[in-house]
Amino acid sequence: MKKEDLIYIKSLRPELDTTGEELLRKGREIGKGLVVGRSRFCQERGYDNHMQYRMEMAKKGETVFILVVGRATLEEQLEAFQIIYDFCKRLDIDVPIVQNIPSPNLALPKELRENATKTTSYMINCFEEWKAHVDAAPLEICFCDAVLSSPNSLETTVNSVKCGSTKIGEFSQFIWRHQGFTDEYKRMCDFITSLGIVSTKRDDYLMVETYLDDGMPGYFMDCVSYIAYALLEHYICEDLCHARYTVSFGGLLTTIESRMGTAIAIHKLLARDDQCVISYINNSTNLAWDHDIEANYGIHAKECLIEGLVERKYHMGMAIDPVAITEKVAVTNLQEQLDVFISGKRVMENLEEWEKLIDLEPLDKLSDEMARLGKQMFENILEGFQEAGINIKDPLELVVVLQNFNRSKIEGMFHPSTYHTDHTEIKPLVPTAMGKQMIEMRDEIIADLQDEYQHALDGHKVLLASGDTHTYGLLLVDGVLTKMGATVVNAGVEIDPITLLDLADEEGITNVGVSVHNGQALDYGRQLSALAKERNKRYHFFMGGKMNTILPGHSDPSDVEDLLVEAGIHATNDLAQTIEGIKNANDVPAIL
């Protein structure tokens, strides 16, 4: 390895006061005392566990669907389950798996939730409410987000096991940070303990789930790196912790080669006779329009078609998460999800007619090369970590190192095109869509703005952060403002308002920008305004991204740009306006 890379990795080696094996033993003791629940779906259909059903469908080459559901209140969530079941019964179609999306604040210990930024989804407050999910309808109900690797993981993992959640996740989210919670070492210890809990339920086919795009792969430029990272998580989960592991992904990938090549390669590397390794593929919104919304059914249909054909050929057990056509512009309602689900089900009809006409051989050959390079990169990572003195047999040491690893460094260090070479820029075999799209969009915006604004921000210092885990919008704005002359300090992702203003004060910066995602905007903006007044300091706040939230008395999110402006936040996705706002910040009233 390059000397500077070795020095960097060595700097991440933690001082541990316990071992991963000790934490796994603790988790196994907890797990032994837990009885796994059984879903109404399995009870009424006669399956011992849901994996029996999945493998039965995989053997036949039939595609299962999954709906990711997160309503505004618990009552609406439980009602949604019955609506989904009744919808399927009326149309005489197989029911989808349902994956819950509760409030991300479920990840926090109860004492930290009150001051956390409000979100668009509901909260689960006690075990009776957890149990109410699986009792609500004859569906397979899964708990993944805000469970396995969260600050509250011991409680959420135990409750998921007791409810019989087939999938418990998300492994990849261990790199996230959570508002108000700072003891990351304890969180990593609890994460390993939680893996120990799940490992005791191998015979019940409870699976550790990952969603790759939520973790490090969300920062990668090559799908080969996706595959390598999945192998790394699999190594930690299966080889070191002895828990079953399953992969989902797809929201950040667009092309057939990237989506299907990645799925087939991981399947070829990790396939088992008794379980599916590819849990589901998330259909994407990257090519969706934000106007003439109905046209997005075209994108959805072609993704479902190739996914169904690939499933018929490879029998992976890969489910499809069909993304509603409105997903790009707003949080979707249940009817929109049912509409896209049933359209996907119709695409699956008569696939044998397409099967005769479409040759998947080029995809098969590509996936072989992706698998080869992905395995090589995985081996590079373990070799490099060992060389740097990291104990690759200790799952705790590995997750602590990985959590603190610079997201943009790991691919460049270990990619087959750079490892043990003088090259620093990777050569992607199959580029990821979001990385490529972000670069193209950034360069297009720069080209549009540079004649008028190229030196507009000379001498201006700007602090940027993302309010959640999403990074591409943050990187885009960073690149544009830097090109226009600003000195940008990038605080990274998952930055809460207090931390953001603390950093602004340390750096002496008054221009503070935030990229937000669904549900965060208004609460985040109001917290910034209140903190500025408490500190009696003048700031220029600007915000972009998905600026919506659920307002009192509403079940669906509303646009809140006007309310943010009232709170003193410059809220817009027009970067020309953002540049003008920063340039003229000293000439207009700001929050004091």
Q: Which residue has the higher pLDDT, 488 or 406?
A: 488
**pLDDT digit string (tens) for 102-143?**
999 999 999 999 888 877 789 999 999 999 999 999 999 999
**Based on the domain organization, do 542 and 439 belong to the same domain?**
yes
Rounded Cα gap, residues 425 and 69, in angstroms:
39
Specify the range with the lowest mean pLDDT, choosing from 493-497, 507-511, 543-547.
493-497
Q: Identify the band that residue 496 occupies on the pLDDT scale cut at 50, 70 and 90.
A: confident
Residue 588 scores a pLDDT above 70: no
Rounded Cα gap, residues 318 and 248, in angstroms:
9
Interval 354-375 mean pLDDT: 97
**Based on the domain organization, do 344 and 469 belong to the same domain?**
no
Residue 206 scores a pLDDT above 80: yes
The token pair that represents 589 in the structure block: 């009233």
Q: Domain for residue 129, yes or no?
A: yes
Q: Identify the band that residue 561 occupies on the pLDDT scale cut at 50, 70 and 90.
A: confident
Mean pLDDT of the chain: 92
Q: Domain for residue 13, yes or no?
A: no
| Domain extent at residue 542 | 433-587
Q: Identify the band that residue 589 occupies on the pLDDT scale cut at 50, 70 and 90.
A: very low
Predicted pLDDT of residue 364: 97
Residue 75 scores a pLDDT above 60: yes
Q: Are 154 and 107 in contact (CB under 8 A)?
A: no
Interval 354-367 mean pLDDT: 96
Predicted pLDDT of residue 413: 92
Q: Identify the band that residue 74 occupies on the pLDDT scale cut at 50, 70 and 90.
A: very high
**pLDDT digit string (tens) for 218-258?**
889 899 999 999 999 999 999 999 999 999 999 989 999 99
Specify the range with the lowest mean pLDDT, choosing from 211-215, 556-560, 577-581.
556-560
**Based on the domain organization, do 329 and 465 belong to the same domain?**
no
- Of 156, 115, 163, the residue nearest 136 (C-alpha): 163
Domain boundary among 314, 338, 357: 357
Predicted pLDDT of residue 555: 65
**Based on the domain organization, do 259 and 136 belong to the same domain?**
yes
Q: Domain for residue 391, yes or no?
A: no
**pLDDT digit string (tens) for 457-492?**
999 999 998 887 667 788 789 889 999 999 998 887
Kindly list the distances between the CA atom of residue 204 and the CA atoms of 38, 49, 59, 139, 270, in Å, as whole numbers in the listed order.
10, 7, 20, 18, 20
**pLDDT digit string (tens) for 167-205?**
999 999 999 988 889 999 999 999 999 999 999 999 999
Specify the range with the lowest mean pLDDT, choosing from 46-50, 246-250, 283-287.
283-287
Q: Domain for residue 369, yes or no?
A: no
**pLDDT digit string (tens) for 302-343?**
999 999 999 999 999 999 999 999 887 777 899 999 999 999
Predicted pLDDT of residue 469: 64
Predicted pLDDT of residue 328: 78
Domain count along the chain: 2
Interval 516-527 mean pLDDT: 81
Domain boundary among 295, 330, 357: 357
Estimate the crossing angle of helix 433-453 against helix 472-483, to 10 degrees.
Answer: 30
Predicted pLDDT of residue 439: 76
* Terminal Cα distance for the chain, rounded: 51
CATH number of the domain at 109, please: 3.20.20.240
**Based on the domain organization, do 40 and 176 belong to the same domain?**
yes
**Based on the domain organization, do 341 and 444 belong to the same domain?**
no
CATH number of the domain at 545, please: 3.40.50.280
Q: Domain for residue 386, yes or no?
A: no
- Going by their DSSP bridges, the two strands 245-249 and 207-211 should be labelled as parallel
Q: Domain for residue 93, yes or no?
A: yes
Domain boundary among 324, 340, 357: 357
The set of residues, in sequence order, having a beta carbon less than 8 Å from that of 453 and lying 6+ positions away, is 484, 576, 579
**Based on the domain organization, do 351 and 437 belong to the same domain?**
no
Predicted pLDDT of residue 592: 43
The token pair that represents 357 in the structure block: 């006409």
Residue 518 scores a pLDDT above 80: no
Specify the range with the lowest mean pLDDT, choosing from 98-107, 200-209, 289-298, 516-525.
516-525
Residue 546 scores a pLDDT above 90: no
Taking only Cα atoms into account, the Rg of the chain, rounded to an integer number of angstroms, comes to 24
Predicted pLDDT of residue 88: 97
Predicted pLDDT of residue 523: 85
Name the residue type at position 217.
P
- Going by their DSSP bridges, the two strands 319-321 and 487-490 should be labelled as unpaired
Q: Domain for residue 379, yes or no?
A: no
Specify the range with the lowest mean pLDDT, choosing from 23-32, 53-62, 383-392, 518-527.
518-527
Rounded Cα gap, residues 182 and 191, in angstroms:
15
**Based on the domain organization, do 55 and 139 belong to the same domain?**
yes
Residue 18 scores a pLDDT above 90: yes
**Based on the domain organization, do 441 and 310 belong to the same domain?**
no
Q: Identify the band that residue 558 occupies on the pLDDT scale cut at 50, 70 and 90.
A: confident
Q: Which residue has the higher pLDDT, 528 or 473?
A: 528
**Based on the domain organization, do 438 and 324 belong to the same domain?**
no
- Of 469, 467, 570, 452, the residue nearest 511 (C-alpha): 570
E strands, 291-418, where?
Answer: 319-321
**Based on the domain organization, do 149 and 252 belong to the same domain?**
yes
**Based on the domain organization, do 141 and 51 belong to the same domain?**
yes
Q: Domain for residue 304, yes or no?
A: yes
